[in-house]
């Protein structure tokens, strides 16, 4: 049995090693204060993605030189050129201070080395909260925004189990699976890393403000973008590559075909990270991404215990939804046994041959105990909640 620390030390073996020919950040790209000031401006330019900046850096080996090149129009759109001239780095710096965030540039000790596996690692990260170096090892949990309630439970359970085992949870800041994973990690007393697709001072969606503040308190919130950059559709796929890059492996809980979960999983595979999939019913649209990944060779996990076992971490006692409950009435136990899949109360009553009234009473007993819940008129078992 390994300890989390061992897991952190072991460098993941990339399946497709990064070709030497790919451009990488020049040594000392962000060493001087002028360079750091230039990065504050460069990171806010919409068309100057990390990949573009990296190309530019081949000829202009420092950030300050790159900024000068952009101002001369060597790269980026006309609008960005104007912005590169007009932006006052002092304003960005004070906004950073106001957001209680800091800049971590390439070459800094805090800069996560695992990001260098990306073919376009960001030159700079903005971080709120703890040092990223202290939050290792890391495992990503990703999935659908409009997830099902049971999917949400699974993500919470995984977050909780990883947190208990001392593993940092990485996810985006979206609602659904992302939020559930963070909540689980926080509930487990652990730390999580939230990667934003907008400026470090903003929260998208705004309803997650409180959750993300909690994450920043116990773990860290990370973004490629300086304060004030608004969430836009194209920033989320870019954000997903950082989620994959920061993590040792990626767990996909739920995702509809063609969703961002698939993008994150693709990035993870490109980086040689192991991918885990939590299967769902074959007919559910939300099962399509995990099932497809499993078909392609991702590791199937049924719940936190499988994941911890595969990561060779000690297991923490979590209910997986198959163990029968203790201390409930006989009728409730029968009802629990009958709930193999989401079932309407009348179908359940018929299946276990009791009256509808008795079945309803049994279901309520289980519901009060937090063992089942009603979704859209059918009852289902709740999984992944803490027994203790």
Residues at the site binding other proteins, with contacts judged by CB under 8 A: 146, 148, 175, 205, 207, 256, 281, 283-286, 342, 344-347, 349-350, 356-358, 360-365, 367-370, 374-378
251 neighbors 171 (Cβ within 8 angstroms): no
67 or 256, CB closer to other proteins? Answer: 256
The residue among 85 and 375 lying less far from other proteins, judged by its C-beta, is 375
Least distance to other proteins, CB of residue 260, Å: 14
Question: Least separation, in Å, of the C-beta of 148 and other proteins?
Answer: 8
Closer CB to other proteins, 43 or 148, in the complex: 148
Which lies closer to other proteins via its Cβ, residue 94 or residue 207? 207
Do residues 36 and 103 lie in contact, with contact meaning Cβ atoms separated by under 8 Å?
yes
Minimal distance in Å, beta carbon 228 to other proteins? 23
Distances in whole angstroms, Cα of residue 10 to Cα of each of 3, 5, 167 = 11, 9, 14
In angstroms, the first-to-last Cα distance of the chain is 23
- Minimum CB–partner distance for residue 241 and other proteins (Å): 25
Of the two residues 299 and 374, which places its CB atom closer to other proteins in the complex? 374
Output the smallest distance, CB 100 to other proteins, in A: 27
What span, in angstroms and rounded, lies between the C-alpha atoms of 149 and 73? 50
Task: Give the helix ranges, DSSP H, for the chain.
Answer: 4-9, 33-42, 50-59, 63-71, 78-86, 89-98, 149-164, 177-187, 209-218, 235-246, 260-270, 288-295, 304-310, 330-338, 345-351, 356-368
Nearer to other proteins by Cβ, of 98 and 368: the residue is: 368
Q: Which is nearer to other proteins, 47 or 284 (CB)?
A: 284
To other proteins, the closest distance from the beta carbon of 285 in angstroms equals 5
Q: Which residue has the tokens 């409180």?
A: 210
Q: Cβ atoms within 10 A of the Cβ of 35, count?
A: 22
List C-alpha distances in Å: 80 to 5, 34, 84, 144.
Answer: 43, 19, 6, 33
Specify the residue for token string 């020919």.
21
């Amino acid at each position: 049995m390994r300890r989390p620390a061992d897991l952190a030390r072991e460098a993941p073996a990339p399946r497709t090693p990064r070709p030497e020919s790919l451009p990488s950040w020049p040594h000392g790209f962000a060493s001087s204060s002028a360079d750091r000031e230039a990065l504050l401006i460069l990171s806010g330019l919409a068309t100057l993605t990390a990949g573009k900046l990296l190309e530019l850096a081949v000829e202009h080996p420092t950030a300050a030189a790159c900024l000068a090149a952009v101002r001369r129009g060597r790269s980026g759109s006309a609008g960005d050129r104007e912005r590169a001239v007009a932006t006052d780095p002092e304003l960005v710096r004070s906004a950073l201070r106001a957001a209680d965030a800091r800049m971590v540039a390439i070459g800094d000790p805090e800069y996560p080395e695992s990001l260098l596996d990306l073919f376009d690692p960001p030159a700079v990260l903005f971080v709120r909260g703890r040092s990223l170096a202290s939050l290792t090892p890391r495992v990503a949990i990703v999935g659908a925004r409009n997830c099902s309630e049971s999917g949400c439970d699974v993500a919470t359970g995984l977050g909780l189990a990883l947190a208990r085992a001392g593993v940092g949870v990485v996810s985006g800041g979206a609602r659904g699976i992302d939020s559930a994973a963070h909540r689980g990690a926080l509930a487990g007393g652990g730390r999580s890393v939230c990667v934003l697709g907008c400026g470090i001072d903003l929260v998208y969606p705004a309803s997650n403000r409180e959750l993300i503040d909690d994450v920043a308190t116990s773990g860290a919130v990370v973004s490629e973008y300086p304060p004030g950059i608004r969430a836009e559709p194209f920033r989320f796929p870019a954000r997903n590559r950082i989620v994959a890059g920061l993590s040792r492996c990626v767990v996909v809980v739920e995702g509809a075909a063609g969703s961002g979960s698939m993008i994150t999983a693709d990035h993870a595979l490109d980086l040689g990270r192991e991918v885990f999939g939590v299967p769902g019913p074959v007919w559910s649209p939300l099962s399509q991404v995990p099932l497809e990944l499993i078909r392609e060779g991702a590791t199937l996990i049924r719940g936190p215990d499988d994941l911890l076992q595969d990561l060779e971490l000690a297991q923490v006692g979590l209910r997986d939804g198959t163990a029968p409950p203790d201390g409930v009435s006989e009728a409730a136990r029968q009802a629990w046994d009958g709930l193999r899949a989401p079932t309407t109360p009348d179908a359940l009553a018929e299946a276990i041959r009791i009256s509808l009234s008795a079945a309803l009473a049994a279901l309520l007993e289980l519901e009060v105990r937090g063992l089942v819940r009603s979704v859209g008129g059918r009852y289902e078992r709740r999984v992944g909640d803490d027994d203790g």
